[in-house]
Amino acid sequence: MNKKLLTVLLLALAMTLAAFGLSSCNPSHSEVETPGDEQVDPIEPDEPADPNPYDLKFTLNGGTYSVSKGGFTGGKLVIPSEYEGKPVTSIEARAFQDCSGLTEITIPDSVTSIGMSAFYRCSGLTGELTIPDSVTSIGEYAFYQCSGLTGVTIGSGVASIQQKAFAHCDGLASIVVAEANPVFHSKNNCIIQTASKSLVLGCRNSVIPDDGSVTSIKRYAFYECSGLTSITIPNGVTAIEIDAFFGTGFYNDPANWDEGNVLYIGEYLLATKETISGSYSIRANTKLIADQAFNSRKSLTGITIPDSVMYIGSNAFYGSNQIQSATMPTLAISFIPKNSLKEVVLTSGESISSQAFENCSGLTSITIPESVTSIGEKAFSNCTGLESVSIRGNVTSIRAQTFWSCNKLKSIEIPSSVTTIENFAFYHCSELKTIYYKGTIDEWTDITIANDGDALTGKSNADLLSATRYYYSENTPTTQDMARTSHWWHYDPETDEPTPWGK
């Protein structure tokens, strides 16, 4: 076979195969389809779920994520429990601060901490808020000024609620803690730290329990709770920290301020204003003075504290350095600044502690009541301005250096209960000239008076022993009394001051 014939045959074969292929790919409409010949549309794969539908920002910390606002602008928010296969365990500090568009929040049970100011001033957040059991700490200012919140439920795992976490939540009417929580419990819309018996958070509908479960009210407990217009503090409360009721409806009402300057709730003195001036007498029957109640009251010059006061808070009179006169129980001594103090009248109490008035150079007079049975060493040491002392108590001993270097002391009243006067009790009291002893000559003789010393230092109580002594006689001394000594004294009926008979 020649090449020309072969080429013709190959071309014919190719044309035949092409024709067959076209007919098989394009069957005619008249062909009958069998049941097995139906055509099925291909299955499209599902779109993957959006792992971040709220456009939040997630930050990887080790093996867990923290969450913050990111591009979220408002509406209801459900924080996911996982992101990219790892748990979301914390809401960052300031995460949603000032996000006024946020209206509702769901916190998953993977979250263990809510950071400082996390939802600060989210004014659009309304309704009930549930803190899940997984959360252990709620940061400072976490929900501050979320005024639309009406209720809060604290989970069983919460062990720390920082200051002002729910402050200024004006709409808050209900606060509940899960019963299984070992640190906090709730009663009467109050959150109470169980072990310390401290009320840490209240709201407009709070009623402080009177069952003994609350003994202290913590700082900012009712801070800026404008809906709280009245409240009763039960007798079991022994401490109220500064600003516990600041900004409440009760606090903001001028009618509740005594003389326009002092705020009380029943028997509890809570606060004063900087405008307080001159002398002020605390109400009779007042039981407690709150922390820093008179802090830095620069125009306060005198204070009278009734014997009913049983508790005085820390720094209650700190910085009130212009107080010149104080009438008070011994309980209050350590709280009153000594910078300007001149006159002190103690009205009750059993003891004056060591160094209580040491170096109080402005003090000129002190009256010690009958209730006092002990005065500590150096109680008035180096009170260089002290001129007169009246001890009307049942003191049995005047301790070492009690009046050391009181070099302007002119007179002292000593009770008959004194049995010992220790060394240097009146050392360097060179101006001491008069002793009013409320006992007899024989009783004075029975007092053990130490008087050690040497040629260099001198005798330790020489100034006391060289002073003129007067002995007490309620009535005019008899001829027999005058035969023993002419030095007798009594209390002047008008001034109640020691006065020698015949003068």
pLDDT at 125: 97
Confirm whether 425 is domain-assigned. yes
Helix (H) or strand (E) holding 414: strand 411-415
> Which segment of 78-92, 155-169, 412-426, 451-465 scores lowest on mean pLDDT?
451-465
Residues 6+ apart with CB under 8 A from 56: 67, 68, 69, 70, 71, 72, 79
pLDDT (0 to 100) of residue 230: 95
Is the pLDDT assigned to residue 393 strictly greater than 80?
no
HEC states along 152-216? Answer: EEECCCCCEECCCCCCCCCCCCEEEECCCCCCEEEECCEEEECCCCEEEECCCCCCCCCCCCCCE
Per-residue pLDDT of 184-215, as tens digits, reads 999 999 999 999 999 999 999 999 999 999 99
Q: How confident is the model at residue 42 (pLDDT cuts 50, 70, 90)?
A: low
Tokens representing 292 are 């820093």
Average pLDDT over all residues of the chain = 91
Number of domains in the chain: 1
pLDDT of residue 46: 58
pLDDT confidence bin for 387, thresholds 50/70/90: very high
Task: Please tell me the predicted confidence (pLDDT) of residue 503.
Answer: 72
How would residue 26 be classed by pLDDT, with cut points 50, 70 and 90? very low
Say if 436 falls within a structural domain.
yes
Is residue 339 in some structural domain? no
3-state secondary structure of 31: coil
Look at residue 173 and tell me if it is in a domain.
Answer: no
Other Cβ atoms less than 10 A from the Cβ of 12: the count is 9
pLDDT tens readout for residues 339-357: 999 999 999 999 999 999 9
Query: What's the mean pLDDT in 300-313?
Result: 98
The verdict on residue 456 lying in a domain is yes
Q: What is the CATH number of the domain that holds 469?
A: 3.80.10.10
* 355 in any annotated domain: yes
At residue 468, does pLDDT exceed 90? yes
The pLDDT value recorded for residue 50 is: 83
Query: pTM score, two decimals?
Result: 0.85
Residue type, 42: P
pLDDT number for residue 71? 95
pLDDT at site 482: 93
**SS3 track for 251-318:** HHCHHHEECCCEEEECCEEEEECCCCCEEEECCCCCCEECCCCCCCCCCEEEEECCCCCCEECCCCCC
Residue 359's domain spans which residues?
350-503
Query: What is the per-residue pLDDT across 72-81, written as a single tens digit (0 to 9) for each?
Result: 999 999 999 9
Q: What is the pLDDT of residues 100-150, one digit of tens each?
A: 999 999 999 999 999 999 999 999 999 999 999 999 999 999 999 999 999
Structural domain contains residue 179: no
Confidence of residue 99 (pLDDT cuts 50, 70, 90): very high
Q: How confident is the model at residue 448 (pLDDT cuts 50, 70, 90)?
A: very high
* 60, part of any domain: no
Q: What is the pLDDT of residue 17?
A: 45
Radius of gyration in angstroms for the set of CA atoms belonging to the chain, rounded to a whole number:
43
> Mean pLDDT, to the nearest integer, of 217-240?
97
Over residues 240-291, the pLDDT tens digits come to 999 999 999 999 999 999 999 999 999 999 999 999 999 999 999 999 999 9
Is the pLDDT at 445 greater than 70, yes or no? yes
